[in-house]
């Protein structure tokens, strides 16, 4: 059977996964009466809850005697490592662009990678039924983007389709016809995307995606570059330098058939398959016949820009809510994650009780923490820090991001002011339709940590911010952090409503009555810039004298809800987020107030 391998790439929320749903339906991959979940490719719980794609996944459909392997990719820049790897598996890309928003930072990032390795794009303008759609202008913007990324003449001569992925149609004109559904896209894939590339010689395959299966063990997915592979065949794995990682037998070969993976008896060159049976080999390794000596060159991955410390939970409540609390199990879990995700880097600290995990952004690390939390882990996590580097001249350089903010005109002033405080340089300001402006900045990653929540507050929830790693640039100097201090519990016990009510004039709370607290735990935001220790256990003095004022019911202001992402962005360097399967607590790194005083004196002496 003829083969085509194609990836769908786009910015977050431009409709990739929904389009894959419709491709599967219209190609006959589902039975007429089969119940299928919406966004069927978003398979894990976090993807379903958040409505985002986190992991790249493959599927396949058959159209007119040709099998089309389709890879659905994440749209967030934090998961760009997934996209960079899978581009080596495909021969063409469908660039999906929102008819109103146009090409966004992540579109630019992925398209640049695809054009660099010579893939020819098909451009699909999605959501043309939006009231603010501007399809013609968007196509001009896409052409300008391709030209700016040094596309070849062949790549610039891209075919264009318009339509609505949600309604299941694409056509050569924004007006339709809609009756043909996605047939124009299927036909265009067959005509425009070249046949799967193969090379002569014995079996070779570059590992691209890794997963663990409870029955088959380690499963590696990749595209077979040459030769064939059968179950029980002996293969070896070479790392990127040509060293043998291991030799073993293939226990099973699985191929994508619709949304299911089915065992096959022969994997042929050009097809995307998963193989099981090897125990040590990982992504970016070459799986090959024992006689092969040269590995396939893997695409280089952009370096991590943000790091965090994962620390063994040493709070007084440690071990009460989770069952995985020791440094050994945390270490094993982090190393396992780093194997399958090449954009993550894990280093052990000298004291062996903490691990420095570096990734592409706060969202990627927050997703990892949330996943571990659901698996029963307890850990303390530090504030995200930026990964600084030295350039050839010995100067310190830091990651700079391109930030695109779409905002209502009335709120643009406060956004420009806040971004300039965070050492951002403004590149352009242009109208984006509907009394909205698009602001483009180059800003240091350090300044953007924690800005998302502040931006939504300043703009009444109407602004949309998109970020993308741009380059390493000169260090921009100190950036002012949080201005408020915190309220700290001074005794262990359970918080009392009466005590919280009395403390309300000191600042908003982040805990509720009945919550367990301990010495050094943060229970609220101080209205001033210093930290304050308070007693949240103090109950109401009871007497036998009854008066109207004494019997007033305590009415508490609802506390601030601190989600994981918000907590990570909000804490300072001397604070930690304590993450357990049931709770997210904020605390000081040093719980004892005397230790904190000693540490602050030492820091002051060093500065002096």
Better-scored residue on pLDDT, 42 or 184: 184
In this structure, what CATH number is given to the domain that contains residue 56?
A: 3.40.50.300
Per-chain mean pLDDT for the chain: 84
* Shared domain check, 120 and 58: yes
**Unique residue bearing structure tokens 């997934």:** 82
Query: What string of DSSP letters covers 497-566?
Result: HHHHHHTGGG--BSS-TT-EE-TTEEEEE-SSSS-EEE-S---PPP-S---TTTTPPP-PPPPP---HHH
Q: Which of 11-15, 76-80, 102-106 has the lowest mean pLDDT?
A: 76-80
Q: Residue 282: which pLDDT band, with cuts at 50, 70 and 90?
A: confident
Q: Which of 288, 309, 338 is the last residue of a domain?
A: 288
* Shared domain check, 577 and 523: yes
Asked if pLDDT for residue 82 goes beyond 80, the answer is no
State the total domains in the chain. 4
Q: Which of 288, 304, 326 is the last residue of a domain?
A: 288
* Shared domain check, 231 and 107: no
In this structure, what CATH number is given to the domain that contains residue 496?
A: 2.40.50.250
Q: Which of 264, 242, 265 lies closest to 255, judged by CA?
A: 264
Q: Which of 221-235, 278-292, 546-560 has the lowest mean pLDDT?
A: 546-560
In this structure, what CATH number is given to the domain that contains residue 454?
A: 3.30.70.240
- Give the pairing type, strands 272-276 and 217-226: antiparallel
Mean pLDDT within 151-155? 87
Q: Is 154 exposed, middle or buried (0-12, 13-18, 19+ CB in 10 A)?
A: exposed
Q: Which of 192, 216, 247 is the last residue of a domain?
A: 192
Q: What's the pLDDT tens digit per position in 200-253? A: 889 999 888 887 777 888 888 888 888 899 999 999 988 888 888 889 899 999
Q: What's the pLDDT tens digit per position in 590-599? A: 999 899 899 8
* Shared domain check, 130 and 76: yes
Better-scored residue on pLDDT, 2 or 547: 2
Q: Residue 442: which pLDDT band, with cuts at 50, 70 and 90?
A: very high
pTM (predicted TM-score): 0.79
What is d(CA 187, CA 356) in angstroms, rounded to the nearest whole number? 49
* Shared domain check, 242 and 177: no
* Shared domain check, 13 and 152: yes
Q: Residue 516: which pLDDT band, with cuts at 50, 70 and 90?
A: very high
Q: Which structural domain range is residue 413 located in?
A: 389-474
Q: Residue 56: which pLDDT band, with cuts at 50, 70 and 90?
A: low
In the annotated binding site for GTP, the residues are: 13-18, 126-129
Please tell me the predicted confidence (pLDDT) of residue 31.
47
Task: Kindly state the percentage of the chain with pLDDT values over 90.
Answer: 13
The answer as to whether 305 is a domain residue is no
* Shared domain check, 22 and 148: yes
Asked if pLDDT for residue 40 goes beyond 50, the answer is no
Better-scored residue on pLDDT, 106 or 133: 133
In the annotated binding site, the residues are: 13-18, 126-129
* Shared domain check, 419 and 530: no
* Shared domain check, 448 and 394: yes
* Shared domain check, 400 and 261: no
Asked if pLDDT for residue 522 goes beyond 90, the answer is yes
Q: What's the pLDDT tens digit per position in 371-422? A: 899 899 999 999 888 888 887 788 888 888 888 888 888 888 999 998 898 8
């Amino acid at each position: 059977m003829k083969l085509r391998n194609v990836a769908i790439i786009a910015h977050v929320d431009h409709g990739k996964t929904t389009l894959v749903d419709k491709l599967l339906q219209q190609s006959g991959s589902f039975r007429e009466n089969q119940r299928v979940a919406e966004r069927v490719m978003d398979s894990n719980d976090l993807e379903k809850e958040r409505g985002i794609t986190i992991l790249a996944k493959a599927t396949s459909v058959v159209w007119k005697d040709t099998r089309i392997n389709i890879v659905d990719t994440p749209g967030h820049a934090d998961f760009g490592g997934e996209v960079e790897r899978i581009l080596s598996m495909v021969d063409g890309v469908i660039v999906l662009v929102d008819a109103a928003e146009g090409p966004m930072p992540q579109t630019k990032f992925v398209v640049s990678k695809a054009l660099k390795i010579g893939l020819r794009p098909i451009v699909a303008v999605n959501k043309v039924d939006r009231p603010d759609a501007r399809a013609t202008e968007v196509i001009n913007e896409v052409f300008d983007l391709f030209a700016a990324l040094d596309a070849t003449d062949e790549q610039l001569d891209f075919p264009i389709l318009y339509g609505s992925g949600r309604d299941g149609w694409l056509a050569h004109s924004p007006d339709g016809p809609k009756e043909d559904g996605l047939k124009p896209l299927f036909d265009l894939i067959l005509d425009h995307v070249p046949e799967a590339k193969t090379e002569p010689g014995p079996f070779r395959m570059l590992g691209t995606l890794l997963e663990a299966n409870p029955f088959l063990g380690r499963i590696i997915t990749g595209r077979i570059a040459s030769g064939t592979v059968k179950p029980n065949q002996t293969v070896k794995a070479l790392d990127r330098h040509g060293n043998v990682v291991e030799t073993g037998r293939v226990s099973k070969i699985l191929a994508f058939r619709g949304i299911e993976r089915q065992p096959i008896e022969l994997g042929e060159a050009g097809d995307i398959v998963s193989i099981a049976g090897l125990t040590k080999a990982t992504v970016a390794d070459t799986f090959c016949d024992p006689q092969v000596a040269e590995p396939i060159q893997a695409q280089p991955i952009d370096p991590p820009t943000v790091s965090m410390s994962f620390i063994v939970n040493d709070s007084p409540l440690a071990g009460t809510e989770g069952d995985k609390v020791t440094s050994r199990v945390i270490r094993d879990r982090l190393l396992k994650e780093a194997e399958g995700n090449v954009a993550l880097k894990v280093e052990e600290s000298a004291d062996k009780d903490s691990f420095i995990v570096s990734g592409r952004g706060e969202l990627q690390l927050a997703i990892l923490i949330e996943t571990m939390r659901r698996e029963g882990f307890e850990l303390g996590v530090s504030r995200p820090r930026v990964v600084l580097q030295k350039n050839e001249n010995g100067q310190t350089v830091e990651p700079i991001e391109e930030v695109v903010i779409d905002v209502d005109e009335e709120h643009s002033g406060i956004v420009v002011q806040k971004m300039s405080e965070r050492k951002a340089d403004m590149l352009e300001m242009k109208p984006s339709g509907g009394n909205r402006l698009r602001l483009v900045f180059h800003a240091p990653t350090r300044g953007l940590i924690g800005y998302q929540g502040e931006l939504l507050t300043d703009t009444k929830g109407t602004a949309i911010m998109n970020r993308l790693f741009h380059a390493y640039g000169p260090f921009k100097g100190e950036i002012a952090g949080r201005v408020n201090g915190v309220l700290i519990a001074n005794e262990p016990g359970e918080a009392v409503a009466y005590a919280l009510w009395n403390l309300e004039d000191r600042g908003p709370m982040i805990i509720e009555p009945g919550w367990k607290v301990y010495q050094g735990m943060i229970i609220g935001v101080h209205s001033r810039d210093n930290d304050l220790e308070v007693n949240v256990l103090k109950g109401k003095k009871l007497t036998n004298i009854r008066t109207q004022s004494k019997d007033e019911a305590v009415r508490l202001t609802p506390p601030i809800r601190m989600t994981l992402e918000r907590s990570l962005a909000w804490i300072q360097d001397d604070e930690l987020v304590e993450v357990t399967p049931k709770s997210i607590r904020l605390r000081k790194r040093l719980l004892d107030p005397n230790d904190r005083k000693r540490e602050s004196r030492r820091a002051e002496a060093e500065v002096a």
